Structure 1
Amino acid sequence: MDGANKAQKKKKWFLPLVFSLLTSTLLITLSLSTSSYPFRHTPIQKPQAQLFVESKLHVSPTQANPIPRLAYLISGSKGDCESLKRTLKALYHPLNQYVVHLDLEASAEERLELVNFVKNEELFVRIGNVRVVVRSNLVTYRGPTMVSNTLHAAAILLKQGGEWDWFINLSASDYPLVTQDDMLHTLSTIPRNLNFIEHTSDIGWKEVQRAKPVIIDPGLYSLHKSDVFWVSEKKKCSYSI
């Protein structure tokens, strides 16, 4: 009698146990089949090619001086002498370096007036950080002569301007919105090796509209200023530079 009762009790709890195990197994199987997580393939991320040339350049160490120094090119043309002097005064700071340039379209009187202005300004003479490009260049807007004029000024600043951190190219029509003290204070908080020029080999639409067209700059061969003109031929882009 006791044996029959025990067998009946075992039968009562054995069937629910088996049923619960089967149910659990079924639920686990369904969850594994519907979830992609255990079988999700994570692709290996290949390192992207560096588009910016800064990653390949050796960066000079930052200067110990906490206050940065700026180098300015301020250029103008015919009729810009007064506005160039105004811009120079507004931008002037004893720590900075300056090159001013009036191109060949300006009259000889205007260029001489600019030279005398720099020579007779007491602060400029005492600090010695303002230079005039005496041999003026003929500069064509958007042409290679504009680039060569900028490089000419940068060469003067590198040779005669001592230590400076950033080069800024402005025209006589520009005017600062902040003082140089505020600007130098702001720039003192960022690394000196930071470059504000964005250069990348991924030039997109510029390849067709700017890199391939061929232009002629009259400033390279003429003493009279005129705009660049375009030729119908297109050149191939060179990626070796």
Structure 2
Amino acid sequence: MGAEKKWLFTLFSVVFLSVFLLLLYSISAFTSKPFPSAIRHGAHYPPAFAYYITGGRGDNNRIFRLLLAVYHPRNRYLLHLGADATDAERLSLLSDLKSVPAVNAFGNVDVLGKVDRLSDNGASKIAATLHAVSILLKLDRTWNWFVELSALDYPLITQDDLSHVFASVNKSVNFIDHTSDLAWKESQRIKPIVVDPALYLARRTQLFTATEKRPTPDAFKVFTGSPWTVLSRSFLEYCIFGWDNLPRILLMYFNNVILSEECYFHTVICNAPEFTNTTVNGDLRYMIWDSPPKMEPHFLTVADFDQMAQSGAAFARQFKRDDPVLDMVDREILKRGRFRVTPGAWCSSHGSWWTDPCSEWDDVNVVKAGPQAKKLDETITNFLDDLNSQTNQCK
């Protein structure tokens, strides 16, 4: 009899557990939201951002992680996995995207299908960025600012924080680090004539450099600065549609300049009278450079976390793959679980170790600022003070 009682107890336990799990599944299926809430735009709603996220061979997981970190239903995303990536990596990225409930419901993430080859220092990068802007404008013209990130970048604030702070910023403002003091760049970057073979060759090769140099332009003033920017939609529409010929003239010129992504937008905006007074001289990035600076900033580590978190920057660069400091940012700043989007006011599910808080949602037009918003707001306020005084614009 003892053996029979144990057998019956085991049977009843299994049945009870099965019924309990079935009940949980039924409740979840009943309460889940298969349709997205309405996304509204305008003066009374938070701003939206268009993200262009790039990476190369082996970066599919990093791109996916970065997307989750900066995801919000109100934004638009275009992912660019370089031509050197494998088909397996592309399929893996697409599979990962399909696993995110919000991405499936809101349909605001696209992956660039036909990608062009890029040279590290050539004009093909500018061509790719302009291509991305064109696609994002065609897909959705309700976003307000364009942000380009690479697989080496990571956010230091939530999208709720970013939208909350930018809600008080004039939508024509452009955050672009710039200067006309070319210094050594004039002789080493501006005067040399280069050709980017990625624009016309299927295989990747080094830039071709001419033996002759050309004089510094006097028909326009050359500006240079950080390639990492936050640009307004109105300015980028000007660059794409160009109701005067300046954007095209400068594109032709910078086609033969080394690292043209450090000059093109900077020179266009500072030579276009209607946009000159929209520039904020900063890129909203946290980076640590050598002195004098090298080609790339230091890789950030756990030792840099405290200073990075207090910096008031929106994004940081650069990080090694799966560095522990990224887990610290997820845990301490973004409050993001592994393989989950950064939670915001739009998420309505009660999160746990087995439930994604953003698998269900309420009104996506509501944002709630967190503690990092105050730091970013101070940074933005200081930049806008410079903008209003016009002491640090296009000089």
TM range (shorter): 0.5 to 0.7
Residues 1:101 and 2:80 aligned together: yes
AA in 2 matched with 1:218? P
Contact 1:144–1:217 (8 Å) recurs in 2 = yes
1:154-165 matched pairs, under 5 angstroms:
154-165=133-144
Partner of 2:224: none
Partner of 1:110: 89
Q: Which string of whole-angstrom CA distances, capped at 9 and with x for unpartnered residues, describes residues 197-224 of structure 1?
A: 3567x45434433222212222123333
Q: Which string of whole-angstrom CA distances, capped at 9 and with x for unpartnered residues, describes residues 18-66 of structure 1?
A: xxxxxxxxxxxxxxxxxxxxxxxxxxxxxxxxxxxxxxxxxxxx95144
AA in 2 matched with 1:127? F
Contact 1:129–1:161 (8 Å) recurs in 2 = no
Residues 1:151 and 2:140 aligned together: no
Provide closer, same or farther for how the CA distance between residues 92 and 214 of structure 1 changes in structure 2, counting only shifts above 3 A: same
Residues 1:216 and 2:195 aligned together: yes
Residues 1:191 and 2:170 aligned together: yes
Name the CA distance, whole Å, in 1 between partners of 2:98 and 2:212: 48
**Shift in Å at residue 180 of structure 1?**
1.1
Question: Which moves more between the two structures, 104-113 or 79-88?
Answer: 104-113
Question: Which moves more between the two structures, 115-124 or 79-88?
Answer: 115-124
Name the CA distance, whole Å, in 1 between partners of 2:70 and 2:191: 37
**Shift in Å at residue 175 of structure 1?**
1.0
AA in 1 matched with 2:163? L
Name the CA distance, whole Å, in 2 between partners of 1:148 and 1:229: 18
Name the CA distance, whole Å, in 2 between partners of 1:83 and 1:227: 26
Q: Which string of whole-angstrom CA distances, capped at 9 and with x for unpartnered residues, describes residues 178-202 of structure 1?
A: 11111111111221111113567x4
Among candidates 62, 69, 81, match of residue 83 of structure 1: 62
Structure 1 gaps of 5+ residues are 1-61
Structure 2 gaps of 5+ residues are 1-40, 221-245, 247-395
TM-score, structure 1 as length reference: 0.67
AA in 1 matched with 2:43? A
AA in 2 matched with 1:215? V
Q: Which string of whole-angstrom CA distances, capped at 9 and with x for unpartnered residues, describes residues 120-165 of structure 1?
A: 4331121111011000111112211111111111111101023111
Structure 1 vs Structure 2: percent identity of aligned residues? 39
Residues 1:181 and 2:160 aligned together: yes
Give SS of 1:164's match: coil
Contact 1:63–1:192 (8 Å) recurs in 2 = no
Name the CA distance, whole Å, in 1 between partners of 2:60 and 2:112: 13
Among candidates 196, 205, 219, match of residue 239 of structure 1: 219
Q: Which structure would you say has the larger Rg?
A: 1
Name the CA distance, whole Å, in 1 between partners of 2:211 and 2:42: 49
Contact 1:70–1:165 (8 Å) recurs in 2 = yes
Residues 1:92 and 2:67 aligned together: no
Alignment RMSD: 2.2
Provide closer, same or farther for how the CA distance between residues 190 and 208 of structure 1 changes in structure 2, counting only shifts above 3 A: same
TM-score, structure 2 as length reference: 0.42
Partner of 1:68: 47
AA in 2 matched with 1:196? F
Question: Which moves more between the two structures, 206-215 or 126-135?
Answer: 206-215
Residues 1:138 and 2:110 aligned together: no
Partner of 1:32: none
Give SS of 1:73's match: strand
Name the CA distance, whole Å, in 1 between partners of 2:123 and 2:148: 15
Name the CA distance, whole Å, in 2 between partners of 1:101 and 1:72: 11
Name the CA distance, whole Å, in 2 between partners of 1:148 and 1:211: 18
Partner of 1:38: none
